[in-house]
Structure formats: C-alpha cells, structure tokens
Amino acid sequence: MFLRGLGVFLAEGRKERRMYVDGVAMRTIWPIGQRAIGIIDQTRLPHALVTVEINSPAGTADAIKTMRVRGAPLIGATAAYGVALAMNQDPSDAALAAAVEMLMTTRPTAINLRWGLQRCRRVLEAIKLPERAQAAWRLAGEICEEDVATNQAIGRHGMGLLKAARKENKPVNILTHCNAGWLAAVDVGMATAPIYAAHDAGIAVHVWVDETRPRNRERV
C-alpha cells in the first residue's frame, strides 16, 4: 500500500518541512519542462502511487473533474498550469478566454480555482502574445510556490497554538476535517502543517481524522 511509504520530515540542513515518498521529496504537481505537467492520480490511492503526465488544457480539466487532483489549493495550481498548456497551443486573447472558461466549470466548490484563473487571465492579458506562454508557465510556478510558503507559515503559526495547548507533557488532541493534508495542496498541507511542525518541535500530538470523503470507499 502506497501510504506505508509516505514520510513527512525535515531534510538535513533545511528549516522547512517537505513531503517524501520512500525517502524522495515529492510534490503533488510538477512541471515537465514547459510542455507538460505531472500529477499524482489520487483516484488510485491509497493502494498504489501512480503518476500521470498531462500535456493539454483538456487533460488538465479532466484531471480536475475526475478528482485525479483534489483539494482547493491543488486544483487552483492545476488550473493555472492548464492555462499555461493552452498558451503553448495558442496565446491569443480568444484562446486565453476559452481556456479560463473551460477550466472554470470543472469544480464549482473550489475557491482557489476561480481565484487562480482570474489571476492568470488578468496577468496574461497585459503581456504581449509572443511572451505569453513563457509568462503563463512562470505564473503557474509562482502560484505553486506561494501555496507552499503559505502552508509552511500555517505550520509555524499553528504550532505555537498547539504548544500553548500542551498540558503536563500530555499529547495535544487534534481533530481534522475535510481534505486538508499534503494531497490537497502542492506540498506540506494546510491543517496538517501545524501537526508536522509540532512533531518536529517534540510536541506529542494525537490526531483524529473524521472524514475521508469524497473517495472513502474501497476500490475494486
């Protein structure tokens, strides 16, 4: 089972946490040059770690619709890369608008989706067509890095709250809800980030995970 090989720890010499699978640092999404992206197919978890290469905006939209990628931050990052893939094919204003419209309809509940797409359209409309594809890839990368930095900050600040809640060296009891771990973000995770930070600081934690939807059934 894949999750048995999942580790979350600090790399030697680093101050910030990263996610590792069998000792190798791994994110939930990554660019493959400026021609494609790689993702973890989350519909295959937890029984297998399967990565998928996507090289078209339509493929990106399908990955969001079919929940190969899940979690608001990761969906937003994936959509931004979808725009970059669209700009590879056609950097025109019409193609930009069409890509944003197509991706916007993939998941109505993910707030980062709308935010990311609106940001892409606003930034790219101000850039000359010959430079638009490269700018789109750069912007998608920035959105990913901002997500990682945000979640690391959540970890640092949240760890302070957990430290204050500790009593007589007893474990701090934490309940998580919704999809808020590493797989929902680009790296580290949201609600899980303070848990990891507390562990790094030597604070004992006990975690209840009360929700596994929308894919909480055994794959056949």
Residue 220 lies in a domain: no
Asked if residue 215 is part of any domain, the answer here is no
Residue 157 lies in a domain: yes
Q: Do residues 215 and 174 touch, judged by C-beta distance below 8 A?
A: no
pLDDT in tens, 131-145: 999 999 999 999 999
Total number of domains constituting the chain: 1
Q: For the purposes of burial, counting CB atoms within 10 Å of the CB of 143, is it exposed (0-12), middle (13-18) or buried (19 or more)?
A: buried
Residue with tokens 């935010």: 115
Rounded (5°) CA angle 53-76-184: 80
pLDDT tens per residue across span 83-96: 999 999 999 999 99
In tens digits, what is the pLDDT along the chain, a chain of 220 residues? 444 445 544 444 445 667 888 888 899 999 999 999 999 999 998 889 999 999 999 999 999 999 999 999 999 999 999 999 999 999 999 999 999 999 999 988 778 999 999 999 999 999 999 999 999 999 999 999 999 999 999 999 999 899 888 888 789 999 888 888 889 999 989 989 999 889 888 889 999 888 766 665 544 3
Asked whether residue 77 is domain-assigned, the answer is yes
User: Is residue 214 domain-resident?
Assistant: no
- Give the integer Cα–Cα distance in Å for 28 and 77: 10
- Residue 217 belongs to some domain of the structure: no
Q: Give domain status of residue 10, yes or no.
A: yes
Provide the domain limits for residue 70. 2-209
Tell me, what CATH number does 63's domain have?
A: 1.20.120.420
Beta strand residue intervals within the chain, DSSP E:
6-10, 17-21, 24-25, 29-32, 36-40, 51-54, 172-176, 205-209
pTM: 0.89
Instruction: Output phi, psi for 47, to 5 deg.
Output: -85, -20
Please report, for residues 29, 66, 185, the alpha-carbon distance to residue 147 in angstroms, rounded to integers and kept in the order given.
12, 22, 7
Which amino acid is it at 9?
F
Residue position matching structure tokens 């010499």: 13
Rg of the chain (C-alpha set): 18
**Residue 20: inside a domain:** yes
